[in-house]
């Protein structure tokens, strides 16, 4: 006869330690395939959101660098003329 672990493709065993330092106990569980697929989908979504956040952070850092350069240039020479072109840059992910 097969035990529960053999019947469940996503069987997991967790060990819990109470905060008060009591005796640790073990739980056994079988997650459904649908749940595991949902977790994988959420994980993928999180990774993509993190990548988008990092791209926006990098872009904002570039803007700050340009503005800092302009401010320094104008402080050094108040009569300087500055022209800024706001053309979007497309990053090549392959190279």
Count of the separate structural domains present in the chain: 2
Pairing mode of beta strands 25-30, 11-16: antiparallel
Specify if 16 maps to a domain: yes
SS3 41: helix
pLDDT in tens, 26-68: 888 887 777 878 889 999 999 999 999 999 999 999 989 988 9
Same domain for 15 and 27, yes or no, is yes
pTM of the model: 0.49
pLDDT in tens, 60-84: 999 899 889 888 988 898 887 777 7
Query: What is the pLDDT, as a whole number, of residue 1?
Result: 36
Same domain for 15 and 2, yes or no, is yes
Same domain for 10 and 37, yes or no, is no
Same domain for 37 and 70, yes or no, is yes
Specify if 81 maps to a domain: no
The answer on pLDDT for 4 being more than 80 is no
At 48, list the tokens.
Answer: 């993509």
Residue span of the structural domain in which 58 resides: 33-76
């Amino acid at each position: 006869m097969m035990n529960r672990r053999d019947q469940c493709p996503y069987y997991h065993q967790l060990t819990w330690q109470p905060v008060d330092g009591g005796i640790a106990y073990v739980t056994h569980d079988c997650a459904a395939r649908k749940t595991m697929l949902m977790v994988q989908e959420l994980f993928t979504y999180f990774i993509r959101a993190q990548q988008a956040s990092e791209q926006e952070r990098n872009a904002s850092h570039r803007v700050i660098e340009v503005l800092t350069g302009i401010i320094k240039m104008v402080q050094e020479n108040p009569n300087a003329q500055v022209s800024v072109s706001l053309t979007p840059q497309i990053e090549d992910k392959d190279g």
